[in-house]
Structure 1
Amino acid sequence: MSETIAWLPDGTPYSTRFDDRYHGEQGLAQARDVFLHGCGLPAAWAGAQQWRILETGFGFGLNFLATWAAWRADPARPRLLHFVSLEAWPVSADDLLRAAQRHPELADLAQELHAQYWGLLPGIHRLWLDDGHVLLTLCIGDAQALLRQQLWEVDAVYLDGFNPQRNPAIWSPETLKAMARHCRRGTRLATWTVARSVRDALTQCGFQVEMVPGLPPKRDNLRACYDPHWQPRSSRQAPEFTQPARCLVLGAGLAGATAAASLARRGWQVTLLDAARTPAAGASGLPVGLFAPHLSPDDNLFARVSRAGVRAMLQQSGALLQAGVDWNPAGVLERRPAGELGLPAAWADGPGTDWSQAAGADHLAAAGLPLDTSACWHTRAGWVCPARLIARLLAQPGIALRPNSPVARLQHTSPSLWQVLDGTGAVLAEAELVVVAAGPASNALLAQLAGPRLPLQSVRGQMSWGLQPEPAPGLPPFAVNGGGALMAHVPCEGALAWHMGATFERDVERLPMTIAEQADAHMHNWQRLQALVPTAAATLRPAFAPGGDLRAWSGVRCTSQDRMPIVGPVDAAALPGLWISTAMGARGLTRAVLCAELLAARLMGEPLPVETKLARAMGTERL
């Protein structure tokens, strides 16, 4: 689903699919005059907490770039700018950048957009720009279908697309009706076309329509405001909060730290409480972990959630961490069963290869594996030191960390206030919102409120690790997984370290592990290492031998029965202001940032970072 662009002699891009030119020399002027000013911007968003724009055709992103530039230049801008754009046939990243070169004043923004403009498979992609204050939600697919499936509420609409005679579907009454579902009373709309069919359809959908002077050589443009004579029906649930307030996050692991950071970025005053002396004292304290997409031939929900999570993780880590020290997004080689690569057939030639593809000879050779090994190469994947990520997240403005603060009980003192108490009954803190991110301990807190018992499962695991010998032949320059995971060349104690693991013991919580249990887990990891990367096993054999320099880390992960995370309100009717984010399982680094953004978006009525179907698959309401 990609667009083929022809470039005319004057430098104007031309769509061979629709036999029509994209906006030429007037492109930037049109973006500002027709769309931005046509929707009353930037004046309309002054002082708002957030502003949500829906666009019906992304094209080369010129309307988005112009809006982003106006947001940056406005001292009264909203804290958060949401730009949701539909596109059935995305242009290539190179064409995107080439088109932006016609407008030097947008060059820096175009470069930032270009860096994230990849892997645009059908579905929804959240691009995190301007330190997370500008969120571009690219929706790839048929506009009418996407508009019917999602539950956005927007403040402005840029009605854009090719000429109605060239692409009538985008201007059809059915598409415009689906678009109107996402408008609130007062939502403004602007477009360059004044076609009678479009005016009539908008009027029928509840818009008050007017023609205004156009940008020469066009005589007229169209502006409209959603103000139907009837009471609009909506399947959207009203957000629990429209303005930031105080929040208590319980648990300083990945789930809690990412939730705290996402809320603080939106203006919340967050207090994070944890029983331990330092953050990342539980399962999130492993020395290093992987983030990588999951593969499924039918590209199921699990796989699509994993890709959204990887994109979110890349964006957050790229903003906070030092490559090669705190993290390394150099890719991951995944060994697969013979003949079962797990790649969807449609990925053979397209944006799917930006994510994963059959491993090439160079990657197999670098891992010391035979060239006929069944394996996939995940380009957008790597390793992260979770404790370092958590430390950077908690250093964000608006977050106060309270270690050594074990919470024994939650108390709902009024419809809008929660308190957390210690074991003596003393109040530790109070706030309008509580987010429980306590892993396996979450159910114990909820049980005291007669809340639902979540289907959580504890999974104990041990990682084997040690400092690398010098030299260290056979240790791949990237992570390798598939029946365990090997991560080498991780900076540690002034040297480099390797890590192998982790074991997987369901329904076991006991820590610390006994000496016998540790030895058994080391043996399990050793056996997996020999099967996974034989050349590395040869190098690390002395470490696993009796008396070798072998170290261990163990922790208890939290997962759910359906292997999906659990994010959302605990019981919106009976326990308002009580939310949860947990059950990241063994994929916490892949899921945590996405779950935090999903929690914040649902809480405050923002466009979601994933399709509605995926959000429901992770939501508390499914349980």
Structure 2
Amino acid sequence: MDTPLLETAADGTPRSARFDDVYFSAAGGLDESRYVFINHNRLAERFAALPEYGQFTVAETGFGTGLNCLAAWQLFQQLAPATARLTFISTERYPLSAKQIDTALAQWPELAPLRHTLVRQYPARFEGFHSVELADNVDLLLLFGDANVTLSELNAGVDAWFLDGFAPAKNPDLWQPTLFDAMARLSRPNASAATFTAARRVRDGLSGAGFQVERVKGFGRKRDMVRAEYIGRCGPPRPGLWPANEWVWPKTANQDRRAIVVGAGLAGAHSAWELAQRGWQVTVLEQATTVAAGASGNAQGAVYARLSAQDAVANRFYSQALELSQQRLGQLPDSIPHANCGLLQLNQGPKEAKRFQQYHQANPYPADFVDLIAADKASEYAGVPLASDALYFPNGGWVSPAALVAHRLDHPNIRVLTHHTVSTLTPNDSGWQVDCDNGERFNVPHVILATAWQSAAFPQTADLPLQPIAGQVSRIATTDTLATLRAVLCSDRYLVPADRGLHSLGATFHLKQSQTDVRSEDDTDNLQSLHQRLPQLIQGNETPVEARAGVRCASPDYLPLVGPVVNTQAFTTDYGEALRKRRTDRLPAPAHYPGLWVNIAHGSKGLTTVPLTAKTLANGLNDEPMPIPQNVLNQLNPNRFIIRQLIRGNA
């Protein structure tokens, strides 16, 4: 990304050389933030009035040093109910580094605990959405890039706007009509806005966006500033404009905060935990005798993603998912076997050589997220000799999926019932009747299927294109050679540093197979494949100490399926012709099965993708801002395959 060109003024105030303007007032940056943005958005009054489990969203243009974010967060901690949630969304085209932010904010000791958390959690600087978890009930959603672009992909309802950024005369690219159009689309009823500037273009832009604008006394020596209340644009809103109707998620108007999650693997456990964190009461139904009995039950798993140097939707999703999963990996308690030991993707084979060549030409990521390094440096990080260059993920590592699942399900709002095989799902007036083979019956407003490829067994989800992929992980005892391995190694197989004297390696890949029996030939395949790639580490004749087979689930485009499910027949009738003509803007909402959701098809990367998809699903059910761009969310939509078929006229 472009650098911020930070300077320090004579009085110590951080200043942008690019815009010839200060980040905050030398007369008192925190006082100005509170006066302009906190007071004129009436945040003290509104935070205190939030109900239990209420949620509030602030959107800001220009994150800068993060001062406004910390001021809002501090006040929220002081006044809001403990169960309420705050999402602070902020755009930034030229993000400062964590060190620069730390230095700029150090002058306010009262903010020190919040500053330390922000600096510790601050994301890598590359374009896109970054979900930063500041506290259990406070999320920071950073949108790095041009605000007029990033806000166009934001799916949220905003309660208060902080229009910061540099002055319109010095930063005219920000204060464009597209900004005010985005505000009109995103603002909730009675949303407010405040800004330090009273420039005519800003007042006119706010008025045109449906805000009632008022000029008031500015901070300190400034003559005036603007505050505004959203009253709506004139005329009826046009339906189906954004997102296109076929991609819209249904609103969850039901205030009954209960859900059943079917499946107690990674996807099910995280989906249940995210809702439980928001005060929902969740029952998890698992057909096996224990949780994590399927593909999520391995002793070790790598937290990784195969990123390219190209700006594709899949790449945006995987980079954001990897960032969040790495952030959480670093916060796990010692009771869960894991290590933030770094991860190396090795340049082996012709396909990898092409991908690595793209990184040689241009790495879109900063080195603190992924760095292209030579073999000698890779060997140093790995602690073992390596013969190829590698992509180094300094925050990568491994975790025990089985222990992570158990940890997420250990929550007072979650009840886990094993030996419960769901036989039928029947819609009723209250939502869903869930019947199990053992005769038990449940009635809840929401059901989340986290049953991987077995989701196709239910009539409502039988049309989803899911394919099973059987595979086996082998474990071997450490050796003198392997004992020094201190980073995860990945090519088309992986090798993990030892945990209690055992290394995990794998995994085999049997497309469209669903067997779960452990096979000696799969152990041989794992060992021989790694011997070919890492002969200096794996001899190929090691004796496996243990092995575990499981079945992963993938979609045709190898992206997860997350969100609501449509009635295929009704959707085809309503949308078939309109999709072929690309004229869906006047159609009614799609015929979703009310209260039925899926979080499936994570393939071999569930440790990386599930945290973000579960959070996305919970935010959707809880009417919180979506943590990923809308164009990415569309490509995770479970109904994308029928939509594509209808557009092509193949359904």
Would the TM-score normalized by the shorter structure come out above 0.5?
A: yes
Which amino acid is 1:148 matched to? Answer: S
Task: Show the 5 A alignment for 1:523-542.
Answer: 523-538=524-539
Shift of residue 310 of structure 1?
1.6
Which amino acid is 1:42 matched to? Answer: A
Partner Cα separation in structure 2 for residue 227 and residue 343 of structure 1: 53
* Residue 320 in structure 1 maps to residue 338 in structure 2: no
- Which of 181-190 and 167-176 deviates more? 167-176
* Residue 28 in structure 1 maps to residue 26 in structure 2: no
Please name the residue that 2:422 is paired with.
407
Q: What SS does the corresponding residue of 2:605 show, helix, strand or coil?
A: helix
Shift of residue 472 of structure 1?
4.6
* Residue 507 in structure 1 maps to residue 507 in structure 2: no
Cα gap change, 1:255 to 1:473, in 2 (>3 Å): closer
Q: What SS does the corresponding residue of 2:504 show, helix, strand or coil?
A: strand
* Residue 86 in structure 1 maps to residue 91 in structure 2: yes
Q: What SS does the corresponding residue of 2:443 show, helix, strand or coil?
A: strand
Post-superposition CA distance 1:137-170 (Å, at most 9, x none)? 1111111122223332211111111111111222
Shift of residue 75 of structure 1?
4.2
Shift of residue 529 of structure 1?
1.5
8 Å contact kept, 2:527–2:541: no
Please name the residue that 1:443 is paired with.
456
Identity of aligned residues (%): 35
Which amino acid is 1:329 matched to? Answer: N
Partner Cα separation in structure 2 for residue 587 and residue 301 of structure 1: 17
- Which of 61-70 and 183-192 deviates more? 183-192
Shift of residue 511 of structure 1?
2.6
Shift of residue 24 of structure 1?
2.8
Partner Cα separation in structure 2 for residue 69 and residue 2 of structure 1: 29
Please name the residue that 2:582 is paired with.
none
Cα gap change, 1:347 to 1:146, in 2 (>3 Å): farther
Post-superposition CA distance 1:257-300 (Å, at most 9, x none)? 00001111111100111011111000100111111132213142
Please name the residue that 1:476 is paired with.
485
Partner Cα separation in structure 2 for residue 18 and residue 63 of structure 1: 19
Partner Cα separation in structure 1 for residue 109 and residue 357 of structure 2: 40
Partner Cα separation in structure 2 for residue 123 and residue 143 of structure 1: 11
8 Å contact kept, 2:619–2:626: yes
Which amino acid is 2:225 matched to? Answer: N
Please name the residue that 1:551 is paired with.
546
Matching residue within 419, 425, 432 for 1:418: 432
Partner Cα separation in structure 2 for residue 347 and residue 4 of structure 1: 25
Please name the residue that 1:195 is paired with.
199
8 Å contact kept, 2:496–2:503: yes
8 Å contact kept, 1:147–1:178: yes
Which amino acid is 2:68 matched to? Answer: N
Partner Cα separation in structure 2 for residue 483 and residue 76 of structure 1: 49
Please name the residue that 1:235 is paired with.
242
Cα gap change, 1:47 to 1:343, in 2 (>3 Å): farther
Please name the residue that 2:285 is paired with.
273
Partner Cα separation in structure 1 for residue 326 and residue 186 of structure 2: 30
Cα gap change, 1:366 to 1:598, in 2 (>3 Å): closer
Please name the residue that 1:116 is paired with.
121
Q: Number of aligned pairs?
A: 601
Q: What SS does the corresponding residue of 1:557 show, helix, strand or coil?
A: strand
Cα gap change, 1:412 to 1:231, in 2 (>3 Å): same
Matching residue within 121, 135, 141 for 1:130: 135
Post-superposition CA distance 1:159-189 (Å, at most 9, x none)? 1111111112222334222332211231100
Post-superposition CA distance 1:62-84 (Å, at most 9, x none)? 00010011111114366211111
8 Å contact kept, 1:190–1:224: yes
8 Å contact kept, 1:358–1:375: yes
Which amino acid is 2:465 matched to? Answer: P
Please name the residue that 2:639 is paired with.
621
Structure 1: 5+ residue runs without aligned partners?
A: none
Please name the residue that 1:182 is paired with.
186
8 Å contact kept, 2:183–2:209: no
* Residue 330 in structure 1 maps to residue 341 in structure 2: yes
Structure 2: 5+ residue runs without aligned partners?
A: 567-589, 642-651
8 Å contact kept, 2:562–2:637: yes
Normalised by the size of structure 2, how large is the TM-score? 0.88
* Residue 144 in structure 1 maps to residue 151 in structure 2: no
Matching residue within 498, 503, 528 for 1:489: 498
Matching residue within 211, 218, 222 for 1:214: 218
Shift of residue 128 of structure 1?
1.1
Q: What SS does the corresponding residue of 1:620 show, helix, strand or coil?
A: coil
8 Å contact kept, 2:431–2:444: yes
8 Å contact kept, 2:431–2:594: no
Cα gap change, 1:244 to 1:345, in 2 (>3 Å): farther
Shift of residue 243 of structure 1?
4.5
Normalised by the size of structure 1, how large is the TM-score? 0.92
Matching residue within 441, 447, 457 for 1:428: 441
8 Å contact kept, 1:310–1:380: no
8 Å contact kept, 1:87–1:139: yes
Q: What SS does the corresponding residue of 1:170 show, helix, strand or coil?
A: coil
Q: What SS does the corresponding residue of 1:81 show, helix, strand or coil?
A: strand
8 Å contact kept, 1:292–1:306: no
Partner Cα separation in structure 1 for residue 206 and residue 359 of structure 2: 40
Post-superposition CA distance 1:282-325 (Å, at most 9, x none)? 010011111113221314222222221122212333333328x6
